[in-house]
Amino acid sequence: MSTYAGWTYKCFVISFLLLMIVKVQAQDQAAVPKISVGFVMGFPTGKTAKTYVNGYGASTKVELNFTKHLNLTGSAGYMTFRYRDEVKKRLDYLGEPTSMNGVVPIKVGAKYYFEGIYYAALEIGAANTLGDGLNTSFAYGPTLGASIPISKHYSADLGLRYEGWKSSAGQVSFFGLRLALAISGAKK
């Protein structure tokens, strides 16, 4: 495992543990309309991990209140993955391009808030690869996370998800970690 891969794995584990132990007393994060903007890190799994070391990007998510504990969601983002060194060397040797094409995932779904700060979400949609060979994949992503209150209208959103992009060309799968700032206009 490269030093960079080891560092990203440690960040992933620490963030996951923080997500599991965060506790906020007497504050219930009920489902309310909000918008969030955040940073995303991707940690490839399965066959994807043989090609890519990690990924990074940004995303925006809009949540519309449906019931007391349920929000409907819509999200759009940008992700790119970094080739493993040996894959990049092989592509260079073959004269293939080694610049990374970005991917724009656009998804809709639902986010259920449990009592307290924790939530579970599921989104589906399309992941569109940018560049010369435009490719659209079916995207899906179940998420577990926490909405940590900062003030009356702001919260930090920390989510851990498994995401897959499936097309006729194959599948990309990864664990994603999203850290975002959410802004709510609703009174709590």
pLDDT tens-place values along the chain, 188 residues long: 555 555 555 666 666 555 555 444 435 556 788 999 999 999 999 988 898 889 999 999 999 999 989 999 999 999 998 888 888 888 888 877 767 778 999 999 999 998 778 999 999 999 998 876 678 899 999 999 999 998 888 999 999 999 999 988 788 899 999 999 999 875 54
The 8-class DSSP code of residue 47 comes to G
The rounded distance, in Å, linking the Cα atoms of 155 and 50 is: 36
The rounded distance, in Å, linking the Cα atoms of 85 and 154 is: 40
The rounded distance, in Å, linking the Cα atoms of 22 and 70 is: 21
- Residue 25 has a pLDDT of 40
- Residue 26 has a pLDDT of 38
- Residue 44 has a pLDDT of 94
Report yes or no on whether pTM surpasses 0.85. no
The residues near 74 (Cβ < 8 Å, ≥ 6 apart) are: 61, 62, 64, 107, 108
- Residue 91 has a pLDDT of 81
Nearest to 157 by CA among 122, 188, 184, 175: 184
- Residue 42 has a pLDDT of 94
- Residue 72 has a pLDDT of 96
- Residue 170 has a pLDDT of 83
CATH code, residues 3-184:
2.40.160.20
